[in-house]
Amino acid sequence: MKSAPFFTDDFTVFGILMLLLGFVFYTSSLDQKFWKKFYVIFPTLLMCYLLPSIMSTLNIISPEWLITDASGATLLNDEGEALTGKLQIYKVASRLLLPAALILLTLSIDLKALFKLGSKALIMFITGTVGVIIGGPIAILLVSMVAPEVVGGVGPDAVWRGLATIAGSWIGGGANQTAMLEIFKYNQQNYGAMVLVDIIVANIWMAVLLFGISRKEKIDAWLKADTSAIEDLKVKVTEYTASVTKVPTLQDYMEILALTFAGVGLAHWGSTVIPIGLKLLFPIVGDPSSMMATFGDSFFWLVTISTFFGVVLSFTKAKEYEGVGASKIGSIFIYILVAAIGMKMDLSSVVSNPGLLVVGIIWISVHAILLIIVAKIIRAPYFFLTVGSQANIGGAASAPIVASAFHPSLAGVGVLLAIFGYIVGTYGAILAAVLMELAAPIG
């Protein structure tokens, strides 16, 4: 962890992030040869992600830092742990703006048309899960041939135990990651290195997927993919939006925001009450080492309730709010979340823990290669490949981001698959851990 960045105030940093987003959108709209070529190579969404990460790498802004005294020495608390400063921007973006975006982006969803997209989305999601499960053992086997000490260790220090936490994160999310830490009792003093590998590799992979979105037509042509169902859904939503479009008034915006944040409030209330109720009725849900622990995770219920609330609204007159820009407001929230996620990515940290980082890169490469092979076989569009991957690797925070980059109407696909990922995450991660234990060198 670095020393304090130049800017440590949440409001100042939020202003910087908004300025970066404004810069990207302004320059991407310019009718100039340089900017047109630039955004062909680096898509808008990717730049909204990369610019904050560059500023974080330069330590201009940072999500977290060590607190030091005048001499530069790190201050400690009464337990001897280092004191840290932390911004709340990501927490606000993921706990407030993300559920709001999920409601706004599913408000105009055509659930029947969504299900008509077929089984390929689910197949690609399952493929992504399998890629994570087998990718870990394969990475351990390959690295152990060259540097067995990197993936060795015994007892609580065994590296495979730590990698199990990454498997939990990459299939399910934070709750599944914590469950793996509890189940396999990895030495928590070394846990920080695993978290770092998780964040670095997952963010690099997300950047690669975003980079490919601007080339989706070429990729789909190479995959020989049938994108007709996706295009039909996009056309249907576009036509519906055009049919209800009107000049928005202040009253429209106030009604949209009132309905949206009432839903967010309901989701937060439910995400607090439901886990408590489940833990009282079923104590196993409150056990972090249980395979039922996901149902005791508040973030799981926050995402689930928000999505359900938006889907319910899509069957009411509230659907017509799409005509005054509901999905556009939701997209604004998504882009703020993208910038907040980008801020967490310190590019300089890529060079730390090189051995474990190689394991992570091989692991994600197996995941990627398997997705590409299956997509080629079943002729799945690049959209299903990216969303199937991010529903695993990134979960509910990033799956709707890549889905809405194709079209706001498709965000629901990412959310639904991410929720499914939360449910199967612990089971898949345990299987991955067992295989990694078998693959790990003895001693």
Which residue type occupies 280?
Answer: L
Same domain? For 154 and 276 the reply is yes
Determine the average pLDDT of the residues in 299-303: 83
Same domain? For 62 and 143 the reply is no
pLDDT band for 279, please (50, 70, 90 cuts). Answer: confident
Q: What is the pLDDT of residue 291?
A: 60
Determine the average pLDDT of the residues in 385-393: 88
Higher pLDDT, 199 or 313: 313
The angle at the Cα of 299, spanning 85 to 182, to the nearest 5 degrees, equals 80
Domain end residue (candidates: 57, 87, 117) = 87
Q: How many domains does the chain have?
A: 2
pLDDT in tens, 66-96: 777 666 677 776 676 777 788 899 889 888 9
Is 70 exceeded by the pLDDT of residue 289?
A: no
For residue 54, being part of any structural domain is answered with yes
pLDDT band for 290, please (50, 70, 90 cuts). Answer: low
Per DSSP, helices labelled H in 147-249 are: 159-171, 174-184, 191-213, 216-223, 228-244
Same domain? For 54 and 203 the reply is no
Same domain? For 76 and 130 the reply is no
Domain end residue (candidates: 87, 120, 152) = 87
For residue 115, being part of any structural domain is answered with yes
Picking from 103, 7, 100, the residue whose alpha carbon sits closest to that of residue 313 is 103
Determine the average pLDDT of the residues in 389-411: 79
- DSSP 8-state symbol, 68: B
For residue 5, being part of any structural domain is answered with no
Q: What is the pLDDT of residue 264?
A: 95
Same domain? For 298 and 342 the reply is yes
For residue 376, being part of any structural domain is answered with yes
For residue 3, being part of any structural domain is answered with no
The angle at the Cα of 306, spanning 303 to 309, to the nearest 5 degrees, equals 145
pLDDT band for 18, please (50, 70, 90 cuts). Answer: very high
Same domain? For 383 and 237 the reply is yes
Alpha-carbon distance of 223 to 217, in angstroms, equals: 10
The helix, strand and coil proportions of the chain, stated in percent and rounded to the nearest 5, come to 75, 0, 20
User: Which H or E run contains 405?
Assistant: helix 399-406
> Would you say how long the chain is, in residues?
443
**pLDDT mean across residues, the chain:** 84
Is 80 exceeded by the pLDDT of residue 325?
A: yes
pLDDT in tens, 188-217: 667 767 877 887 888 888 888 888 887 888
In the block, residue with structure tokens 């706001």: 408
Cβ-Cβ contacts under 8 Å for 70 (sequence gap 6 or more): none
Same domain? For 330 and 375 the reply is yes
pLDDT in tens, 408-428: 777 777 777 877 777 777 788
Determine the average pLDDT of the residues in 376-385: 91
The angle at the Cα of 292, spanning 291 to 294, to the nearest 5 degrees, equals 100
Same domain? For 26 and 76 the reply is yes
Q: What is the pLDDT of residue 114?
A: 67
Q: Is the dihedral of CA 406, 410, 412, 418 positive or negative?
A: negative
Same domain? For 233 and 299 the reply is yes
Structural domain for 369, as ranges: 93-439
Determine the average pLDDT of the residues in 232-252: 82
Is 90 exceeded by the pLDDT of residue 361?
A: yes
CB 223 within 8 A of CB 376: yes
pTM for the model stands at 0.75
For residue 2, being part of any structural domain is answered with no
pLDDT in tens, 123-149: 998 999 999 999 999 999 999 888 888
Same domain? For 420 and 327 the reply is yes
Higher pLDDT, 400 or 433: 433
For residue 352, being part of any structural domain is answered with yes
Q: What percent of the chain is modeled with pLDDT above 70?
A: 91
Domain end residue (candidates: 26, 53, 87) = 87
CB 108 within 8 A of CB 240: yes
Higher pLDDT, 358 or 296: 358
- DSSP 8-state symbol, 95: I
Picking from 88, 99, 134, 58, the residue whose alpha carbon sits closest to that of residue 346 is 58
Q: What percent of the chain is modeled with pLDDT above 90?
A: 23
pLDDT in tens, 248-274: 899 999 999 999 999 999 999 999 999
CB 17 within 8 A of CB 336: yes
Same domain? For 99 and 76 the reply is no
Is 80 exceeded by the pLDDT of residue 117?
A: no
CB 255 within 8 A of CB 321: yes
Q: What is the pLDDT of residue 362?
A: 94
Picking from 432, 388, 405, the residue whose alpha carbon sits closest to that of residue 138 is 432
Tokens matching residue 367: 């995941």
Higher pLDDT, 383 or 288: 383
For residue 4, being part of any structural domain is answered with no
Is 80 exceeded by the pLDDT of residue 161?
A: yes
Secondary structure (DSSP) of 14-59 = HHHHHHHHHHHHHHHT---HHHHHHHHHS-HHHHHHHHHHHHHHTT
Q: Cα 238 to the chain's mean position, in Å?
A: 26
Long-range Cβ pairs for the range 110-113 (8 Å, 24+): 110/233, 110/236, 110/237, 110/240, 110/314, 110/409, 111/311, 111/314, 111/412, 113/232, 113/233, 113/236
Same domain? For 224 and 349 the reply is yes
pLDDT in tens, 222-231: 999 888 878 8
Is 70 exceeded by the pLDDT of residue 113?
A: no
Strand partners of residue 3: 66
Q: What is the pLDDT of residue 382?
A: 92
Q: What is the pLDDT of residue 50?
A: 84
